[in-house]
Amino acid sequence: MSMNSRPTAKALFFWIAIIFLGVMLWKLVSPSGTATSQTRTGDWTLLLLNAAPLILLMGFCIFLIRQMQRGRTRFAGAASPAARTGIGYDLHRLEYGRPLMVGGVEIPFDKGPIGHSDGDVLAHAMCDALFGAAGLGDIGTHFPDTDPKWKGANSLLFLEHARKLLDEKRFSIEHVDAIVILEKPKLGPHFPKMREALARALGLSADHIHLKAKTNEGVDAVGRGEAIAAHVVATLSQR
């Protein structure tokens, strides 16, 4: 209610101010300075002649204000492109003796993800979030795990391809926020390198990418250290 009443109060205040200003100006340009003297002379023709320019001036002011308001609305509409959000999720089982790739960076550890490509959950979930926001399907549509071309592939290539597709559809990546869930090892110290690698693949500066890490508190396969998972939310705007 207060939000609706505020513009009404503003408009009321504006009109009172305009009327007050009009009366003051009218008194100023009156031939003898006061309304009583005009009433005394009864010179209605002179009164109308004095009031007409003020009425015209006020009308012109109102016209200008309305035009400015319309222009501002149009400008605001054009300058705020529609934002679109996509969500991505991925999980890979971990196996001894495989490289642990997360966000395009190899992290020293005795286990790594099983996958057709390098099994980078963060890059995969990010692809899905970007494709989802752009309405472009999912990672399996673009990079099927039956295609030998992608066997052992660096998943940053998927992100580079996603970026090209987004560019073609005139989408810009505004922000990407991610959570990687892994019992061990700690990922925080590797975040700066991951953000740089991901940002490079997406043609962004690293401040567009935010990373967080969680453990699964010992619960389920992720908690037992048998798997790694990632959730990503991406926000796009269309140019």
What residues line the site for Zn ion (CB under 5 A)?
90, 124
Cβ nearer to Zn ion, comparing 38 with 197: 197
C-beta of 207: minimal distance to Zn ion in Å? 26
**Distance (Å, whole) CA 98 – CA 117:** 12
Nearer to Zn ion, 124 or 208 (CB): 124
106 Rama sector, left if φ>0, alpha if ψ -120 to 50, beta otherwise: beta
118 or 183: CB nearest Zn ion: 118
- Between residues 140 and 192, which has the closer beta carbon with respect to Zn ion? 140
Q: Give the phi and the psi of residue 175 in degrees, each rounded to 5.
A: -165, 145
**Distance of alpha carbon 167 from alpha carbon 148, whole angstroms:** 27
Residue type present at position 77:
G
The least CB distance from residue 124 to Zn ion, in Å, is: 3
User: In this chain, which residue has its C-beta nearest to Zn ion?
Assistant: 124
Residue 216, C-beta contacts closer than 8 angstroms, at least 6 positions apart:
181, 183, 222, 223
- At its nearest, how many Å lie between Zn ion and the CB of residue 218? 23
For 114, phi then psi, to 5°, come to -90, 130
Least distance in angstroms from the C-beta of 117 to Zn ion:
7
